[in-house]
Structure 1
Amino acid sequence: MSENEKARDLLRRAQEAVRDDAHTTLRQLVGALVDRGNTGEILSLSRILDAGGPLPGAPRVRVALIGSFTADLLGRVLRVTLRRCGIEAVVDVYGIGQYGSLAADPDSDLYRSDPDFVVLAVHHDELGLPGHSTAPEKDVEAEVRRWRSLWRTLRTNSRARVVHWLFALPDDLVVNALDVRLPGSRYSMAVRVNTMLAEAAGKDVLVVDCDRLAGAAGKLAWFDDRSWRMAKQPFASDVLPLPARETASLIAADLGRAKKCLVLDLDNTLWGGVIGEAGVHGIVLGGDAGEGFVRFQRYVRVLKERGLILAVCSKNNPADAKSPFQEHPDMLLRLSDISCFSASWEPKPEQLRRIAEHLGIGLDSLILVDDDPVERAQVRALLPEVEVIDLPESSWEYVRTVRAHPLLQQAWATEEDAARADSYRARAQAKQYEEESETLEDFYRGLEMSARFAPVDAGTLPRVAQMVVKTNQFNVLSRRHSAAELAELVAGPGALHLTARLRDRFTDHGVVGFFLARTHGDTAEVDSWLLSCRVIGRDLERSMFGVFARQAAATGVRRLVGEYAPTQKNHMVADLYKRLGFGLVREAPDGVTRWQYDLVQQGLPALSPFIEEES
């Protein structure tokens, strides 16, 4: 079947899925079509999706697209790429070159639409730099200040997160080869502007590196003078999916939609050949033939260092599967890098279920990398929640293929990210220890847990902001405050807040809990209460509540009020307030319940007897 025939077949099946309301099938077809990266196919898919309903349970966002070029096609492609990330979006496209006036006017249509994200899509002609400068540092700093001022204006006038497109720099920006050596050349200054804007963005602005994307596509293919003359679009229509997918993946990561765990097959995925047949010294790894596998392992190891959990899912004898990690000289990944190792002859869907259970995460947090098309098809059919990556035939293409996946993006990084894999590996060890313990109390005591509770500060705010967008299971209200909103909330009058850091015999889990309430007179009402999934089931919520109640009582609070709002994923905390002694005040038709705890009549609640409070 030719590529055109494959595309027609995928589109036909998508149309049937829309007609039959087959959401799972449609989600997989959208992924297949968007990942192909063909603009025409994505636009055809856009028309098909318009005829159907929204994805059930998908977050809904409003995206404002403002910039310096005609962006109608971009808006359509962006909406589909967001759908590929499991997000239903309304994308409002504003007129060419209006971004400055829209941002400056507090009563503009931009702000009246109340967007969740504002995408500032600008191209290189908007750079306010001279052709050559005798004071390049001054000119670069002035240009950076101009764009940062625009960011501040957008954030001041709206609650939206800003997504800024860095400048793709065309070849004709360079006069000759000397430009790269001249600090005052327009090209050198533009490169520096991009770098400084990326550094200045911090955790408040999301950044799309369009110059890198243009380089990947090939700048001669990216820039299209004819497209600019005819449609005021500075790049070729064929490359539209690249910046759209990058933008969508950053928005998805910011909303906590990125996958948490990369599950790796072994044979012909981490090395060439079958370990059970070739033995540890017969597999292809390293050297000319196996360098592609080494490069892939190096990339995967960096993902782990950035906070992605690694797991292994292999049909193999356990001893054979582990031997390259322990013995092969060219093996970069070690067993200590793998948080959960599953090697058996069970079907892979069963192994994946066990991996998710041992790590304490949902199946929809997993993304499988496997070279076998039969295994991939079985997982897609039986576990549609699991994202599956199709590996190409050549191991040299593995890195490029996995890196392109939109649900492996990161919006920002925190200090805890590097230790996340260790924490989840410790959770898997604790899970095994729990299974071996005779009683739950024995399990708790044997963990030798201790916790430190402290207010949110500048050091823990980035981690708290990350948890707020990512935590789904233990999250009573699932409010998705941005980092800037959180900073304002915790600094506001009447705010009571704390973080929880947990240690046990296996590891230091870092900051894993957050509690925020706002006081009104003698009442404190819970705004956010969440725990990382890697420490669920440790009784930490009891200690968090006890410490918070003690803190609230010291400020004169007499009543604690909290609400639970059900989502698809937080059923485990439906009875949280009841378990902690709150009384039910009311239950709304939509399932939202309101609870109250009287500190005067009921007294201060006790902390968990299994967790030592650190001073």
Structure 2
Amino acid sequence: MSENEKARDLLRRAQEAVRDDAHTTLRQLVGALVDRGNTGEILSLSRILDAGGPLPGAPRVRVALIGSFTADLLGRVLRVTLRRCGIEAVVDVYGIGQYGSLAADPDSDLYRSDPDFVVLAVHHDELGLPGHSTAPEKDVEAEVRRWRSLWRTLRTNSRARVVHWLFALPDDLVVNALDVRLPGSRYSMAVRVNTMLAEAAGKDVLVVDCDRLAGAAGKLAWFDDRSWRMAKQPFASDVLPLPARETASLIAADLGRAKKCLVLDLDNTLWGGVIGEAGVHGIVLGGDAGEGFVRFQRYVRVLKERGLILAVCSKNNPADAKSPFQEHPDMLLRLSDISCFSASWEPKPEQLRRIAEHLGIGLDSLILVDDDPVERAQVRALLPEVEVIDLPESSWEYVRTVRAHPLLQQAWATEEDAARADSYRARAQAKQYEEESETLEDFYRGLEMSARFAPVDAGTLPRVAQMVVKTNQFNVLSRRHSAAELAELVAGPGALHFTARLRDRFTDHGVVGFFLARTHGDTAEVDSWLLSCRVIGRDLERSMFGVFARQAAATGVRRLVGEYAPTQKNHMVADLYKRLGFGLVREAPDGVTRWQYDLVQQGLPALSPFIEEES
């Protein structure tokens, strides 16, 4: 079935649902059509909905749409996107450019309508900035004050929550490439105005980042000069669903309509393959093939850090389902991140009921992410209260698909969110810890770091191979061994090797370090020593050196030898061996240095006192 045929079928079924008062079916069809993001389809759906009654049990709101352009089409699309969020809305559209006079007059039609939300939809031509400024800070602050004054006027004269559209900035706002470096250019000032307005909004004003949305759509696609000339609409009609959906999702979040719990399937959702068949080391996770799953896990973890509850709903043996969380080196999500873990062979609707009961929340607070269309269809049929996300075939598109869902939006971060998400709170405080620490040692202690050092095995080898190829900064010799070569090296006689996995109070960084040395006689010589740039500056290298020395001494080694080969990017480790107590043996004309550490005379070096070694 072609996309056009799918759309016609969905619209036909929506029309039938309106006729039959099949509200549950209609809700699901509205979701499917709105999520497709096609303006024409949404406008057709708008006409169908107009022929039916209101959504039973839905909150009803009045939205005033005021702005600097013709917004009739936007109003219709916004009403449907609000319906998609379970909100029945009346959207009043006011005339082009009247927002200032409407706001200033306490007796205007705007206030007499008593709106719940006022959407201030303005575009870049409304920026009161000069083409170039010799006093950019003053001009930016004056422009920010102007808009904040308008916010205050709207709030003073009404009970409405203000939703402000930040300015989408077209390319023709830029004179040339120098603008981004000139604080006084109109472009740089406009960027700063957007930033300062977002910061000033606090909890009083909802903010739609139209410049981000325009970037996602492509600014050449977003801005439409012909549309402006003919209809006084500054953007193409094709992109209307983007700002409408963002606006609707913020209103929904403000009304408490956002979902509370993200329920995750496992096989082919958090990793590729079936854990019960492939085993921990056979699933696709990490490396080139599984990077999409890692990115998705990283995104999900951020959602958890921002207060979203995470649950697992999987048809699997419990032990199999949990094993990647416990054993796989590239698994970013841990069992401690999951508030409710359900893995059994019961139907997923039954598992979802148990999850909701266990968490003490309603089924309508759940949103399911599952790759299996059959499972999704069953949940939709038996538990229509549960929101279901259709995952695309490629794991690379998982983040974009889930992020686009309108019921996973946050209007702002609350104290309750911060209390639930220790990692998120700590991440935001990292810079503060550093600034408040009187010494570097105090800062390290504040990180509460722990590390696990383990031999390279089948599970970590793909990650190690990836690091060997890609790591440039902390890499003493920059030897680019292939995966096959690495497997042979670590299995060879006299090989000393391990990976380093670092955790701190912010997050679990996963496998971020690799060390390989080879022994011959009473000497052990470094072959590869590298750290991910994500953890540089954490003193992890000191602990890695300590582990290397401990392993070497256990085999009877008396001397440790290492070399540094300079490249364009690894200057930061030029003095690594010196800092760790090695003595310089020689320096070659090409800059390669050779260093030695005497275990008999100097003794075993200590691991970093700031990183707890995990067993």
TM-score normalised by structure 2 residue count: 0.69
Q: Relative to structure 1, is the Cα distance of residues 447 and 75 closer, same or farther in structure 2, using a 3 angstrom cutoff?
A: same
Q: Relative to structure 1, is the Cα distance of residues 207 and 563 closer, same or farther in structure 2, using a 3 angstrom cutoff?
A: farther
Q: Relative to structure 1, is the Cα distance of residues 238 and 155 closer, same or farther in structure 2, using a 3 angstrom cutoff?
A: same
Q: Deviations over 1:224-249 (max 9, x none)?
A: 00000000000000000000000000
1:399 CA displacement:
0.2
Q: Deviations over 1:88-134 (max 9, x none)?
A: 00000000000000000000000000000000000000000000000
Number of the residue aligned with 2:95: 95
**Paired residues of 1:296 and 1:399 also in contact (CA < 8 A):** yes
**Paired residues of 1:255 and 1:469 also in contact (CA < 8 A):** no
1:418 CA displacement:
3.3
1:460 CA displacement:
45
What secondary structure, in the 3-state scheme, does the structure 1 residue paired with 2:563 have?
strand
**Paired residues of 1:474 and 1:572 also in contact (CA < 8 A):** yes
**Paired residues of 1:166 and 1:207 also in contact (CA < 8 A):** yes
What secondary structure, in the 3-state scheme, does the structure 1 residue paired with 2:490 have?
helix
Q: Relative to structure 1, is the Cα distance of residues 459 and 340 closer, same or farther in structure 2, using a 3 angstrom cutoff?
A: closer
Whole-Å separation in 2 of the counterparts to 1:293 and 1:139:
46
**Paired residues of 1:359 and 1:425 also in contact (CA < 8 A):** no
1:444 CA displacement:
41
Q: Deviations over 1:142-169 (max 9, x none)?
A: 0000000000000000000000000000
What secondary structure, in the 3-state scheme, does the structure 2 residue paired with 1:120 have?
strand
Whole-Å separation in 2 of the counterparts to 1:572 and 1:256:
49
Q: Deviations over 1:414-434 (max 9, x none)?
A: 232133368999999999999
1:464 CA displacement:
47
**Paired residues of 2:329 and 2:511 also in contact (CA < 8 A):** no
Q: Relative to structure 1, is the Cα distance of residues 603 and 298 closer, same or farther in structure 2, using a 3 angstrom cutoff?
A: closer
Report which stretch shifted further, 422-431 or 537-546: 537-546
Q: Deviations over 1:30-82 (max 9, x none)?
A: 00000000000000000000000011100000000000000000000000000
**Paired residues of 2:293 and 2:395 also in contact (CA < 8 A):** yes
Based on CA coordinates, which of the two structures has the bigger radius of gyration?
2
**Paired residues of 1:103 and 1:150 also in contact (CA < 8 A):** yes
Q: Relative to structure 1, is the Cα distance of residues 601 and 458 closer, same or farther in structure 2, using a 3 angstrom cutoff?
A: same
**Paired residues of 2:332 and 2:508 also in contact (CA < 8 A):** no
Q: Deviations over 1:286-327 (max 9, x none)?
A: 000000000000000000000000000000000000000000
Q: Deviations over 1:494-543 (max 9, x none)?
A: 99999999999999999999999999999999999999999999999999
Q: Relative to structure 1, is the Cα distance of residues 178 and 28 closer, same or farther in structure 2, using a 3 angstrom cutoff?
A: same
Report which stretch shifted further, 388-397 or 573-582: 573-582
Report which stretch shifted further, 59-68 or 485-494: 485-494
Unaligned regions of 5+ residues in structure 1, if any? none
Whole-Å separation in 2 of the counterparts to 1:415 and 1:218:
35
TM-score normalised by structure 1 residue count: 0.69
Report which stretch shifted further, 239-248 or 452-461: 452-461
Number of the residue aligned with 2:479: 479
Number of the residue aligned with 1:385: 385
1:609 pairs with 2:612: no
1:412 CA displacement:
1.1
Report which stretch shifted further, 405-414 or 495-504: 495-504
Whole-Å separation in 2 of the counterparts to 1:550 and 1:63:
68
Whole-Å separation in 2 of the counterparts to 1:94 and 1:169:
24
What secondary structure, in the 3-state scheme, does the structure 2 residue paired with 1:355 have?
helix
Report which stretch shifted further, 506-515 or 118-127: 506-515
What secondary structure, in the 3-state scheme, does the structure 2 residue paired with 1:130 have?
coil
Whole-Å separation in 2 of the counterparts to 1:362 and 1:509:
34
Matched pairs, number: 615
1:589 CA displacement:
95
Q: Within 5 Å, which residues of 2 pair with 1:275-314?
A: 275-314=275-314
Q: Relative to structure 1, is the Cα distance of residues 298 and 550 closer, same or farther in structure 2, using a 3 angstrom cutoff?
A: closer
Query: Identity of aligned pairs, percent?
Result: 100
Q: Relative to structure 1, is the Cα distance of residues 217 and 581 closer, same or farther in structure 2, using a 3 angstrom cutoff?
A: closer
Q: Relative to structure 1, is the Cα distance of residues 380 and 602 closer, same or farther in structure 2, using a 3 angstrom cutoff?
A: farther
Q: Relative to structure 1, is the Cα distance of residues 36 and 516 closer, same or farther in structure 2, using a 3 angstrom cutoff?
A: farther
Q: Relative to structure 1, is the Cα distance of residues 583 and 257 closer, same or farther in structure 2, using a 3 angstrom cutoff?
A: farther
Report which stretch shifted further, 396-405 or 470-479: 470-479
Q: Relative to structure 1, is the Cα distance of residues 609 and 209 closer, same or farther in structure 2, using a 3 angstrom cutoff?
A: closer
**Paired residues of 2:331 and 2:510 also in contact (CA < 8 A):** no
4+ aligned runs moved over 4 Å, structure 1: 421-615
Whole-Å separation in 1 of the counterparts to 2:596 and 2:544:
16
Q: Relative to structure 1, is the Cα distance of residues 32 and 504 closer, same or farther in structure 2, using a 3 angstrom cutoff?
A: same
Q: Relative to structure 1, is the Cα distance of residues 423 and 152 closer, same or farther in structure 2, using a 3 angstrom cutoff?
A: same
Report which stretch shifted further, 533-542 or 314-323: 533-542
Whole-Å separation in 2 of the counterparts to 1:544 and 1:589:
29
Report which stretch shifted further, 41-50 or 454-463: 454-463
Whole-Å separation in 1 of the counterparts to 2:358 and 2:533:
11
Report which stretch shifted further, 156-165 or 454-463: 454-463
**Paired residues of 2:265 and 2:369 also in contact (CA < 8 A):** yes
Q: Relative to structure 1, is the Cα distance of residues 594 and 365 closer, same or farther in structure 2, using a 3 angstrom cutoff?
A: farther
Whole-Å separation in 2 of the counterparts to 1:490 and 1:400:
39
Whole-Å separation in 1 of the counterparts to 2:544 and 2:439:
23
Q: Relative to structure 1, is the Cα distance of residues 46 and 175 closer, same or farther in structure 2, using a 3 angstrom cutoff?
A: same
Q: Relative to structure 1, is the Cα distance of residues 563 and 44 closer, same or farther in structure 2, using a 3 angstrom cutoff?
A: farther
What secondary structure, in the 3-state scheme, does the structure 1 residue paired with 2:96 have?
coil
Whole-Å separation in 2 of the counterparts to 1:559 and 1:156:
77
Q: Deviations over 1:252-300 (max 9, x none)?
A: 0000000000000000000000000000010000000000000000000
**Paired residues of 2:477 and 2:564 also in contact (CA < 8 A):** yes
Whole-Å separation in 2 of the counterparts to 1:49 and 1:436:
57
